Structures are given as structure tokens and as C-alpha cells.
Structure 1
Amino acid sequence: MSDSNAKPRTISDLLGPNPLSNWGKWGPDDEVGSLNYLDAAQVLRGVAAVQTGEVFTLQVPIGDPATDGDPVWPNRRSAVRTSVMDEGFFERGDAPVVPEDGHRWADDRIDMFLQGSTQYDALGHLWYDGQIWNGYSAKTTIGSLSRASVAPIGERGVVGRGVLIDMARHRGKDVLDRAEAFTHLDLLEAADAQGVTIEPRDILLVRTGWIGSFYRTTRDEFYTDFNEPGLIYSRELVEWFQRMEIPNLATDTIANERSFDPETGIEVALHCALMRNLGVAMTEICWLDDLAAVCAADGRWTFLYTAAPLKVIGASGAPVNPVVIR
């Protein structure tokens, strides 16, 4: 930009000519980025956080007939599950074969966006300036991600100590407002109020109440003036993530950050600054309300976090059902 006071209009403008980067830190062929921080010691640190053995799953339902579709990014469609074999096929005489031994079966298929439920982004999911994570060419995404797809994350798995920061509860709300912003300093303030410390290499979970609100309102209301609450970009925030060696950010929003800056229109800047540049894994559309309720009740905000997205070869993301054990 020629005018130093002009508002940034592109990701390159916003992040500047020398953005913080972890490219090459784990070698030229790395495809899982900051998940490399989760070594055996971090797994054991996560196990040590388990005290009562309570289990929570963090995936939202897929294809729940009680709701008007699933919570998805506005240009995506909800999943459609179709029965392709059930008792009705036998009753109608439409079964391709009727076993003489008397057994029957049900079978079905699903048509969905791979990022249409609780899911992990591949590190190659989003980029700018012609390069994805670790400096690979954006051309490696054509047709199928040949580098930094979600499959290496699925192969590796994600296990470590998780810490939940409840920004909605900290601000005295059931759900944060549309486009409501917070920073890493706000996270630290909320952590202090909760009586927990965010430690290096923690898997960071942040609750806004946003996905929970999807199930309490109409679809039209949820998507009207759509701009999710969440973290917003600053170089200081990126420095904090890099210094703290945060391997994984998980939230109860679809974008894992405020959807776009109302002033500049720039979208998902942290996907570029954290995921593309630092290799931070992103887990989106998490169900955190139940976990947050029990954490608030007994004041324990840390736990063992485990997850592995589906190993879909070449995919930019894949569904996951993270399991938390307290």
C-alpha cells in the first residue's frame, strides 16, 4: 500500500511483507505443521489431566431431522442421508436379492461437504500469494491436494492436554454477538477468571456459544447478517500463538475466527496467519456447551483431548468427532 494509513484490502496487505512463519521448521516435506509439537510428553501431559473419567464428544449431529439442516458455512449445503436399503425395499419387492436364510439389512449413503460438520481443516485448505502451508505451490491443490491434505492429520491423530476458555460465560452471555471480537489478551483474562493457565503446547478450545445458538433459533435468523464472533488478527496474537507453540485451535464457530472484518471486508485472516503460515490445525463447528457446563460447575478446565479426522485422501478437510476425557 502506498499510503501507510490506508486500510489493508488483501491478506498480503494485512500480514505485511515479513509475516511470522514456521515454514521449514519440521523439514521441507512436513504436512502437519504445529501438530508436531504434540510429542509423547504432551500425550502424557494430557493423560495426567484426567481425574474423573468423564467422556464428552464434541461433534454436532449430522442430518438431524429435528433441525432445519446442519450448521454450515453459508455457501455450503447441509448433509443429505439417503436410505438405499431397508425393510421397505423387501416389503415392496424392490430388494435386488432376498436371502433364503431370512436375514435382512439396512444400508444408506450420505452426500455432504467434507467440511459440513465438526471437522478438521487440512493445512492446504486456504492460502494466498500462490503458496499453501510450508511453501508448497497452490498448484498442488488442483484436482486433489497432493500436499498438506487432511489425510496426514488423520494418519497422525491429535492427542494432548486441552484447555477450554469460555468467552461467552466470561462476558456474561449465552452467546457472543454477531461479529463480537476478542484477542489473545481477552483469552488470558478469561483464563485468569476461570482459574486456569494456558500452557505451552496446549490444545486451545474456545467457546462463544455460537453453534449452540443454531439449535435455539431459526435458520433464517442464524444466517441473517452473518458474521461470527471470534478471534481477530493482530501480529501480537500471531506472536503469542507462535511463542506458546499452540498446535490446535478448536471453537464452536464455523470459521474458528470472526468471519470477516467489517471495516476492510477481509475474510478469515487467521486461517492465513495461523494455519497457512504457522501450521496451526483448526477444528471447527465443535459442540462445547455440555463440556463448558461441567467445567464451570467444578472449576476444572483442562482435560485429555483426542481426535482424528477421516483419512480422506487429497481432501481439504474431513469430519471428526473429538473425544474429551476429564
Structure 2
Amino acid sequence: MRELLEGLPKNWGRWGENDEVGALNFLTAAEVLRGVACVRKGKTFTLQVQMGHPKGDPVWPGRHGAQRFNIMDKGDFLCGAGPEFPGNHEFADDVMFLYLQGSTQYDALGHVWYDDQIYNGYDARTTARSLKKASVLPIAERGVVGRGVLIDMARHRGKAVLDKGETFNHFDLMAAAEAQGCKIEKHDILLIRTGLIGSFYERDKNEFYKDFTEPGLTFSRELVTWFHEMEIANLVTDTIANEVTADPETGVVVPLHCALMRNLGVVFTEIVALDALAEDCAADGQWNFLYTAAPLKVVGGSGAPVNPVVLK
């Protein structure tokens, strides 16, 4: 990884030696108002996938989808095991066990690293048992609000879903934006649709995970420089890893997690439901909007579930 990324830009220290939210610092009050200006019709969209779906949840191979269990319901009261209260009300209660990155989620900036340093140069040993630096908590405490723009790569290429391992770069993103009649601007929250997550619920699970290689952005030095110059605050996609699983030239797995997240502080949001939003954008021709998100405030977490809300 060091050899692949040698000489590429970093934002370490740009916002001070104690910074833990990275490129979200670009989302100033002026950027929030730029996003608010995109709200024209009062339409709202929620972007989280359902947790504990009957067909399972799309997760990185080796993880398990969320599991929900009732611990109290009518059955407990029918067999006399339910607690009694004045007034004789009854209730249901349940618990859920999940990977914090097992649903639509924000990555902490300390989630992935190399050379024993996480974002902003913090020692990777600060991740032991709990992220003491660059956890998801500072992102959750801050919240994410700004101008979002959706680039529908699947629609641009005339497909319902991109093929396994199908790649695209920043030039492809700009070409798709031009075809949509919109523009990617500095400090945007960049949403990219491949169709993958939506297709999960329509496909055989074994086929979905066979020879697992997602479509997505592919590493190049030029692409990393473009993200740096555009000062993109947040990358949001309907894939599990926000990039093609392995770089097709070097075989390096998830290099953009290191080049963009670890080095530039670009915040990653993954496993996002974009199909309904994309349909509406295609119908009315408006591809920009106010994007808002607040992941759960998990102390020390390497990620946290989120239900982003988009307003058009």
C-alpha cells in the first residue's frame, strides 16, 4: 500500500493535530446553506437499507446481517411469564445483534490504515479494543449536512446494475454528470449509484456473493488528486466497500480506503439504498439536493448505522 500511494496528497494536520472528522470540515455553514438552496419541492427520501430483512442483509463477506430477537411479546403473557402492572397493560420488547458496519453505515476515519498510522497520523495502537482517536463518535456528534449530488453510473451505462468488477473513474463521473445535466462541485457530498445494493434483494444470495468483486471506483493517482482538488467531503455509494473490491492492475484490496479515507479524510458511507432517489432524479431532472445524516453515537466505534435523509 505504501508503494502504491507514495507521493499522493494527505490532509493530515490541515485542520489541526486533534482533528477527527477530516473532510467534513469543508461543510461550513455556507455549504449547509448551499445544500438548503437545492430544496425546491419538499420531497424527502430515506437512504438506509432495511435491517433484518427476510432475505438477509447485504454485508461484507465474513460478516453477518443484523439478527433481531423478541424477548417479550404476547406469548409471554399467554403462558403467564409476562410481568404484571397496574392497569394490566402488555408490551413487546426485542434486541438486535449486528455488525456496526452491517447496515447502511458511516466508517470512522480510523477504520482502515497501513504503516501503523490511522487518519491524521494517530498511532494505530489507539484502535486497541476501542478507537480512542478518529472513531465514528466525532462524526456522529458533528452530523453531516451539505449539498449532495447523485451520479447514476448504472443508468448512464444503460444497465440496471453494473457488472461484477466493473470500474469507473472521475472522468466517467464527470461524463455521467454532464449527461444528467448537472455538475459535481467543490465540497459536494458525492453519491454514486451502481444498482448493486438494490439488486441484492432480487438475486440469489449465493450468486450475489460468488467470486465476490463489487463494481465501483478504481484507484488511480489522478483520481486521488481529483478528490483532493475537489475537496469532496463525503463519498456515498450503493456498494459495500465504496470502490471496486481489488485494484485490477495491482490486486491491492480497497486502496481508496487508504488513499481517500486514511490520507485525505474523505468520509465513507456504504450500503446505501439509492434506487428510489435515482428514479425520482431521472424523472424530474434534479440531481442535487440537501443531504443530511447522523450516524449513531457509538463511543469508540469503527463505524455506525445511519439512515440518511435527502430533501429535494
TM-score (norm: length of structure 2): 0.99
Give distance in 2, aligned partners of 1:258 and 1:64. 25
Give distance in 2, aligned partners of 1:101 and 1:215. 43
* Cα deviation, residue 100, structure 1: 3.0
* Cα deviation, residue 263, structure 1: 4.4
| Correspondence 1:14 to 2:14 | no
* Cα deviation, residue 287, structure 1: 0.3
- Paired AA for residue 84 in structure 1: I
2:218 is matched with which residue?
232
SS at match of 2:192: strand
SS at match of 2:235: strand
Give distance in 2, aligned partners of 1:256 and 1:28. 27
Give distance in 2, aligned partners of 1:264 and 1:226. 17
SS at match of 1:193: helix
Over residues 121-148 of structure 1, what are the superposed CA-to-partner deviations in whole Å (9 max), with x where a residue is unaligned? 0000000000000000000000100000
Q: What percentage of residue pairs aligned between the two structures are identical? A: 65
Give distance in 2, aligned partners of 1:148 and 1:263. 30
Task: Decide whether the 8 Å contact of 2:11 with 2:265 is kept in 1.
Answer: yes
Misfit runs of 4+, over 2 Å: 261-265
* Cα deviation, residue 101, structure 1: 1.4
- Paired AA for residue 243 in structure 1: E
Give distance in 2, aligned partners of 1:12 and 1:83. 47
* Cα deviation, residue 220, structure 1: 0.3
* Cα deviation, residue 20, structure 1: 1.0
Matches within 5 A, 1:231-310: 231-310=217-296
Give distance in 1, aligned partners of 2:103 and 2:39. 27
* Cα deviation, residue 120, structure 1: 0.1
Matches within 5 A, 1:80-95: 80-95=67-82
SS at match of 2:45: strand
SS at match of 1:163: strand
Task: Decide whether the 8 Å contact of 2:66 with 2:97 is kept in 1.
Answer: yes
Over residues 89-112 of structure 1, what are the superposed CA-to-partner deviations in whole Å (9 max), with x where a residue is unaligned? 1111122x2113111111110000
1:64 is matched with which residue?
53
2:13 counterpart (13, 24, 29): 24
Task: Decide whether the 8 Å contact of 2:219 with 2:247 is kept in 1.
Answer: no
What count of residue pairs does the alignment treat as equivalent? 312
2:195 is matched with which residue?
209
| Correspondence 1:184 to 2:170 | yes
Give distance in 2, aligned partners of 1:167 and 1:79. 29
Task: Decide whether the 8 Å contact of 2:8 with 2:225 is kept in 1.
Answer: no
SS at match of 1:154: helix
Give distance in 1, aligned partners of 2:285 and 2:30. 25
2:152 is matched with which residue?
166
Give distance in 1, aligned partners of 2:202 and 2:252. 29
Give distance in 2, aligned partners of 1:71 and 1:160. 27
TM-score (norm: length of structure 1): 0.95
In the alignment, structure 1 segments of 5+ residues that lack a partner are: 1-10
| Correspondence 1:41 to 2:30 | yes
| Correspondence 1:140 to 2:126 | yes
Give distance in 1, aligned partners of 2:118 and 2:268. 15
1:113 is matched with which residue?
99
* Cα deviation, residue 291, structure 1: 0.3
* Cα deviation, residue 235, structure 1: 1.1
Task: Decide whether the 8 Å contact of 2:106 with 2:306 is kept in 1.
Answer: yes
Over residues 262-321 of structure 1, what are the superposed CA-to-partner deviations in whole Å (9 max), with x where a residue is unaligned? 443211100000000000000000000000001001111000000010000000000000
Give distance in 1, aligned partners of 2:173 and 2:129. 39
Task: Decide whether the 8 Å contact of 2:187 with 2:230 is kept in 1.
Answer: yes
* Cα deviation, residue 229, structure 1: 0.3
- Paired AA for residue 223 in structure 1: Y
